[in-house]
């Protein structure tokens, strides 16, 4: 049986076509859309301090000066890892050495490659070398009080061990095993001894270090107290000392000049105001940059202001519930929220699913958020993601913070009032019309952030986001 296609003859048009009718119709338009706009949860969740002047001074009880706790390394032209000599001042008894002596010590480091699972240093062995991890991750282990194997901490790029045993010629108090392939730089104790024989100042530093230990456990100068006494003993006298040069945070700035031709604003202004549309999107871009700076700026950014004791390395790379608990142990006084890249939150969700402990959900800002131990995880794409799923395993950081002045936490800083202010801390100042009939507007955002005390913020470093599981 043959099927034939029946073609209909074209009919004469009997009514106005829609394409022609559109010429007489008014369209319904949206305001200009912008892919780069994010919820900016950090700016919404931080308490803000309005400054009467452009400087915020954080007065603290006098404390002891600490560095970043890491010895920086670099790769020379021959592909060899080297120690930055000045960073050897992170070791207490080398802090007063001159630069030439530090350079001499830095030149004595020997590089070696350690495979995953191999020992870098063994407990009970003579601590004849100072070790610096240039690349890789290792775990520090010891025998617990009941004879079990205890994981003390994770070590990563820039961590060093064990300066105290190395200086005193003691045995290693713990074992260090590579979790990933590691590049380790080691300095023999013989070089330190030879240098101390030539330099009386270093010898004196070593002897004082050996006599007094590693330094005060308390990072603040003590307040003398007594308790539990009876009778009428003489009470201790004390006072609270303050830092003589407290840290000051100056307001940072993000600016641009927006240009709009008068012809556009005069005759193409209905039904959407062209100037307002341009200003709105410009302000959104400034706010996005503001959030990035508050996280990543090297001077006042949150990542750069985490002290060494508040940095945590992941156990396995992926962000596990154990890692998040370790962060909570660092910021245990009224933790407010985690801040993480969306892919890091997804990676944490996978780890929870694998363990059968799904996180609870809480509603904030009109949206649902994952929580851990009741603390919400706020997403932000301003936490940089190094690498990608296509090129290399992506790694990022997760922040946990306490917020508010009354809680000695993290606060955002902005001016109380600026001329031509359109939003808190954001001004739009007309600059006039030039000879090309272009109107200019100076758009400015003033901001900064401050962590009032060291334990207000902690970071989980080198979080891998590319780990997936086959649940089947």
- 370-427: pLDDT as tens digits: 999 999 999 999 998 876 545 456 889 999 999 999 999 999 999 999 999 999 999 9
Confidence tier at 208 by pLDDT (50, 70, 90)? confident
Contacts (Cβ under 8 Å, ≥6 apart) of 466: 347, 389, 393, 394
209 has a pLDDT exceeding 80: no
Confidence tier at 10 by pLDDT (50, 70, 90)? low
pLDDT score of 7 = 63
Reduced to 3 states, what is the DSSP secondary structure of residue 144?
coil
244 has a pLDDT exceeding 80: yes
Choice between 416 and 239, residue whose per-residue pLDDT is larger: 416
pLDDT score of 218 = 47
Residues of the chain with CATH 3.90.1690: 41-54+249-464
On the 0-12 / 13-18 / 19+ scale of CB atoms within 10 A, 297 is middle
Reduced to 3 states, what is the DSSP secondary structure of residue 190?
helix
94 has a pLDDT exceeding 90: no
Provide φ and ψ at 125, rounded to 5°: -80, 155
CATH code for the part of the protein at 41-54+249-464: 3.90.1690
Window from 12-21, 67-76, 334-343, 447-456 with minimum mean pLDDT:
67-76
Confidence tier at 9 by pLDDT (50, 70, 90)? low
118 has a pLDDT exceeding 80: yes
CB 125, CB 241: distance < 8 Å: no
CA pair distance 174, 158, nearest whole angstrom? 19
Residues of the chain with CATH 2.60.120.10: 73-212
360 has a pLDDT exceeding 80: yes
On the 0-12 / 13-18 / 19+ scale of CB atoms within 10 A, 293 is buried
CB 183, CB 135: distance < 8 Å: yes
Choice between 441 and 389, residue whose per-residue pLDDT is larger: 441
Confidence tier at 65 by pLDDT (50, 70, 90)? low
25 has a pLDDT exceeding 60: yes
pLDDT score of 216 = 43
- Architecture per CATH, domain 73-212, reads as Sandwich (2.60)
In 3D space, the residue among 189, 160, 185, 186 whose CA is nearest the CA of residue 80 turns out to be: 185
pTM, rounded to two decimals: 0.81
Q: Which residue is associated with the tokens 């001074």? A: 57
- Mean pLDDT score, 75-104: 82
CB 333, CB 458: distance < 8 Å: no
pLDDT score of 217 = 43
Window from 124-133, 209-218, 254-263, 287-296 with minimum mean pLDDT:
209-218
CA pair distance 43, 37, nearest whole angstrom? 13
pLDDT digits (tens, 9 = 90+) for 261-307: 999 999 998 889 999 999 999 999 999 999 999 999 999 999 989 98
CA pair distance 371, 349, nearest whole angstrom? 10
Radius of gyration of the chain from its Cα atoms, rounded to whole angstroms = 30
CA pair distance 92, 207, nearest whole angstrom? 12
What percent of the chain stands above pLDDT 90?
Answer: 49
């Amino acid at each position: 049986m043959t099927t034939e296609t029946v073609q209909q003859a074209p009919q004469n048009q009997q009514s106005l076509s829609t394409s022609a009718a559109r010429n007489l119709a008014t369209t319904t338009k949206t305001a200009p859309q912008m892919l780069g706009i994010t919820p900016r949860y950090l700016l919404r969740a931080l308490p803000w301090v309005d400054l009467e002047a452009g400087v915020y001074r954080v007065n603290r009880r006098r404390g002891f000066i600490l560095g970043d706790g890491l010895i920086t390394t670099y790769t020379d032209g021959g592909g060899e890892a080297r120690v930055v000599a000045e960073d050897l001042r992170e070791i207490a008894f080398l802090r007063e050495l001159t630069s030439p002596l530090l350079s001499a010590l830095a030149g004595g480091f020997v590089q070696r490659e350690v495979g995953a699972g191999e020992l870098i240093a063994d407990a009970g062995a003579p601590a004849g070398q100072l070790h610096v991890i240039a690349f890789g991750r290792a775990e520090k282990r010891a025998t617990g009080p009941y004879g079990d194997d205890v994981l003390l901490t994770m070590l990563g790029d820039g961590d060093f061990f064990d300066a105290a045993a190395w200086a005193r010629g003691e045995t290693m108090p713990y074992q260090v095993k590579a979790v990933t392939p590691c590049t380790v730089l080691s300095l023999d104790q013989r070089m330190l001894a030879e240098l101390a024989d030539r330099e009386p100042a270093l010898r004196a530093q070593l002897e004082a270090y050996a006599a007094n230990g590693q330094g005060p456990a308390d990072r603040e100068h003590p307040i003398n107290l007594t308790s539990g006494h009876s009778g009428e003993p003489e009470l201790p006298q004390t006072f609270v000392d303050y830092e003589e040069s407290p840290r000051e945070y100056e307001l940072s700035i993000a600016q641009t000049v927006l240009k709009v031709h008068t012809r556009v604003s005069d005759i193409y202004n209905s039904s959407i105001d062209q100037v307002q549309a341009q200003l709105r999107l410009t302000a959104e871009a400034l706010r996005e940059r503001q959030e990035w700076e508050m996280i990543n700026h090297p001077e006042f950014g949150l990542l750069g202001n985490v002290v060494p004791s508040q940095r945590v390395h992941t156990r396995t790379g992926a962000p596990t519930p154990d890692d998040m608990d370790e962060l909570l142990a660092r910021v245990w006084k009224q933790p407010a929220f985690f801040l993480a890249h969306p892919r890091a939150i997804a990676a944490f969700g996978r780890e929870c699913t694998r363990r059968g402990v799904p996180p609870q959900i809480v509603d904030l800002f009109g949206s649902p958020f994952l929580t851990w131990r009741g603390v919400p995880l706020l997403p932000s794409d301003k936490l940089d993601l190094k690498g990608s799923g296509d090129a290399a395993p992506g790694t990022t950081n997760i922040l946990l913070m306490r917020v508010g002045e009354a809680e000695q936490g993290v606060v955002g800083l902005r001016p109380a009032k600026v001329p031509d202010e359109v939003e808190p801390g954001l001004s739009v100042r007309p600059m006039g019309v030039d000879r090309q009939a272009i109107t200019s507007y100076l758009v400015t955002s003033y901001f900064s952030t401050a962590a009032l005390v060291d334990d207000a913020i902690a970071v989980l470093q080198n979080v891998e986001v590319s780990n997936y599981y086959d649940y089947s």
